[in-house]
Structure 1
Amino acid sequence: MRGNDLEVFTYKTEAKRLMVRPLKEEDYQGWYKGFNERMPSQHRHDPGKLDMSECTEEWFASLVHNHQKLAAGDDAYIFGVFHKESGGHMGMIDFSTLARNDFQWGRIGYTIHNQYWGQGYGREAVEAAMQIALTELGYHRIEAHINLDNSASIKLAEGIGMEYECTRKGFIYEFGEWTDNLIYYKNAVQR
């Protein structure tokens, strides 16, 4: 369906204050600054400040190329979130293909750098990116897999119209154990 060439990953969209688009090699300085200016971790689902010592321009160019390869294979579509006025890098959104054919099913992941929290950027970015996923990328169903105690992520999913479906028990191995996840979903509009 998608993913036969690298041109597949040129999709972008604008929101009121944000641009959501694939990373480009020339984004390195802004990308680095966005990650490097993160505050310390605010809760267990926030990695906070990261060790950026290995994130050279060469490393970043390889990252951009790998994002394109993932899109070309229809495995994942990874977008940067940028402030329209300043051009600053504010976070990332990704869509992973879970199944195609009769399902057209994907999973969304999202993160906004913690220095930008509490200003509605997450909702604005995810809402815009979902339009790409449910139209241009051809997904019929997008799921968010959310930790039971991640209230900010739950609020964001519900705020963009995703619906709670179920709790999957022992769904993902993280924090040294198999943890439960809430499953929220959104389907494309029926044609």
Structure 2
Amino acid sequence: MTKNLGLHFTTQRLIIRPLEESDYTSWLHGFVNRKPAQYRHDKGQIDMSDATEPWFAALVARQQQAIEADDLYIFGIFDKAGHHIGMLNIKNLSRDHFQWAEIGYFIHNQYWQQGYAYEALTELVKQAQEKLHFHRIEAHINLDNQPSIGLIEKVGFQFECVRKGFIFENGQWTDHYVYYINTHNEPPNI
């Protein structure tokens, strides 16, 4: 059973909220209709043969548990017609004196170049401040991922540094850019 977690946001064109079991068909359709990979960081078409309804129900339950634990907030992005456009997430890196999180995102490539990523990320940053009370939000980006760099800068994130050997991907430790945005929350009561 899917719980209403009170994390439903709307923009002019989008609905952003945790996945629900009833999203299965729309969610699957978004993945199945992806185009071939457009560049190195685009996964393109993905084999979804294992993504059955029971598998999806378990995924939704795990995501709800992560939200309830204040660990990882995962959101589906839907247009107002109910089409699954992509996903957003915000990972709690530290609460206490930091209120620090990392943001992640993807838009299905059949919906690229329509402003959906900018619209969704802008709203998530706002809600991460107002509802989740994060002060610092980071984005970690591959050095050669120019579309993601341009997007995150447009949303208002600032370049901070290169973290060397930061993430293990494709069989090796890779460098990543770190971009950040600080919200204007009051200091935590600790």
* TM-score using structure 2 length: 0.94
- Hey, what does 2:134 align to over in structure 1? 139
Correspondence 1:42 to 2:38: yes
| Counterpart AA for 1:114 | N
- Secondary structure in 2 matching 1:10: coil
Correspondence 1:159 to 2:154: yes
Report if the CA contact (8 A) 2:163-2:177 is conserved.
yes
Of 131-140 and 104-113, more deviation after overlay is shown by: 131-140
Decide which of 89, 95, 113 is 2:90's aligned counterpart: 95
Distance 2:125 2:36 in 1: 29
- Hey, what does 1:181 align to over in structure 2? 176
Decide which of 26, 31, 40 is 1:30's aligned counterpart: 26
| Counterpart AA for 1:41 | A
- Secondary structure in 2 matching 1:107: strand
- Secondary structure in 2 matching 1:109: strand
- Secondary structure in 1 matching 2:117: helix
| Counterpart AA for 2:77 | V
Residues 153-186 of structure 1: CA deviation (Å, up to 9, x unaligned): 1011001101111111111011221111100111
Q: Following TM superposition, where does structure 1 have runs of at least 4 consecutive aligned residues deviating by more than 6 angstroms?
A: none
Distance 2:28 2:185 in 1: 40
Could you tell me which runs of 5 or more consecutive residues in structure 1 were left unpaired when the two chains were aligned: 1-5
- Counterparts in 2 of 1:66 and 1:190: CA distance versus 1, 3 Å: closer
Correspondence 1:122 to 2:147: no
Residues 80-132 of structure 1: CA deviation (Å, up to 9, x unaligned): 00001x21000000001111100010000000000001111100011111111
Instruction: After TM superposition, list the pairs within 5 Å mapping 1:54-65 onto structure 2.
Output: 54-65=50-61
* 1:190 shift after superposition: 4.6
Instruction: After TM superposition, list the pairs within 5 Å mapping 1:65-76 onto structure 2.
Output: 65-76=61-72
| Counterpart AA for 2:146 | S
Identical-residue share of aligned pairs (%): 50
* 1:140 shift after superposition: 0.7
Report if the CA contact (8 A) 1:10-1:22 is conserved.
no
Distance 1:12 1:166 in 2: 33
Report if the CA contact (8 A) 2:129-2:185 is conserved.
no
Distance 2:4 2:158 in 1: 29
* 1:10 shift after superposition: 2.5
* 1:7 shift after superposition: 6.5
| Counterpart AA for 2:113 | G
* 1:13 shift after superposition: 1.1
* TM-score using structure 1 length: 0.93
